[in-house]
Structure 1
């Protein structure tokens, strides 16, 4: 996978965006996240190194198909921009809470951990909506075969769901512990 230059990736992603007819800016970053959509700036960004690594995790899928699918997914977020905009105040609440409390403090406080659970649930809805939008784009444009699309979607969503389930388990345990404590 080392043969994929940053320029090649930029052009592959840009050509996919262009094929959809959407006017979204594209930039490279070094965030450690393969691709993301910033709804405030209306920019899709990619980390070339992480994108190549992430594609390698699904070696059965051709590299260009992986990149195009993830690009469609990020464009799916762009199509959901009004809902993302509407979530801004609550999203800022989550960021503020994380700035004020350590992870250890959050995982000892049911109210704070409850906010993390709420954030997970909100993010999963956004992810599912982005994937539904990406599927609609793909059905119109026929960029990715359905089998590859579904494999990439499943792998991508599994990360969000696994993190949610781990935190939900910790939240349930915390609630049980706090209910057992004398008042």
Structure 2
């Protein structure tokens, strides 16, 4: 990723932040995550290389500018929900700690650990949906992205979270069924 492209992406993100009259900081990083909102530091982070890759993963052609504007609105939607994100921090830390203390095999073979993973998915999906609702309101008040592009990118983004949740939920139900069979 060239310096010019990174600077251009920064400018697009900054233009959205300014257009919706917010004061969230923007930071370029190499996290491998296209965009994220850090509610502790109150900033939007972006990985320029991953942003381009993520846009290229869309089935329908969408300009990079529209994609970045939409994702920026989404991250600002998280910023609008910052208090709820902060309130979830103690439980998020508990789940994070559990994941560090147990192997994936242990987590997927113990009902209470897998239940915590399911809870994390449910929290993430709720935060994602709320951020998209907030982003929709921001875009409605300050029209920056055509509605059909916004909706398509939103559905694509939410599908990622939903797919992971459904996989783990299926594993959880499978584990419960195995335990029921052993009790019989």
- Indicate whether 1:41 and 2:19 are aligned: no
Taking the aligned partners of 1:73 and 1:163, their CA distance within structure 2 comes to 20
Taking the aligned partners of 2:50 and 2:4, their CA distance within structure 1 comes to 12
Aligned residues: 183
Which residue does 1:54 correspond to in 2?
54
Structure 2: tracts of 5 or more residues without a match: none
- Indicate whether 1:30 and 2:24 are aligned: no
Taking the aligned partners of 1:14 and 1:162, their CA distance within structure 2 comes to 31
Which residue does 1:67 correspond to in 2?
68
Residues 3-152 of structure 1: pairs in structure 2 closer than 5 A: 5-58=5-58, 59-152=60-153
How much does 1:97 deviate?
A: 0.4
- Secondary structure, counterpart of 1:107 in structure 2: helix
Greater shift, 10-19 or 148-157, is seen at: 10-19
Q: CA RMSD in A?
A: 1.6
Which residue does 1:160 correspond to in 2?
161
Taking the aligned partners of 2:4 and 2:124, their CA distance within structure 1 comes to 30
Q: TM-score, normalised by structure 1?
A: 0.96
Taking the aligned partners of 2:162 and 2:140, their CA distance within structure 1 comes to 25
- Secondary structure, counterpart of 1:142 in structure 2: coil
Please identify runs of 4+ aligned residues in structure 1 that moved more than 3 A: 1-4
Taking the aligned partners of 2:105 and 2:46, their CA distance within structure 1 comes to 31
1:100-155, Cα deviation, whole Å (9 max, x unpaired): 00111101111000000011001100000000000000000110000000000000
How much does 1:5 deviate?
A: 1.0
Taking the aligned partners of 2:90 and 2:180, their CA distance within structure 1 comes to 31
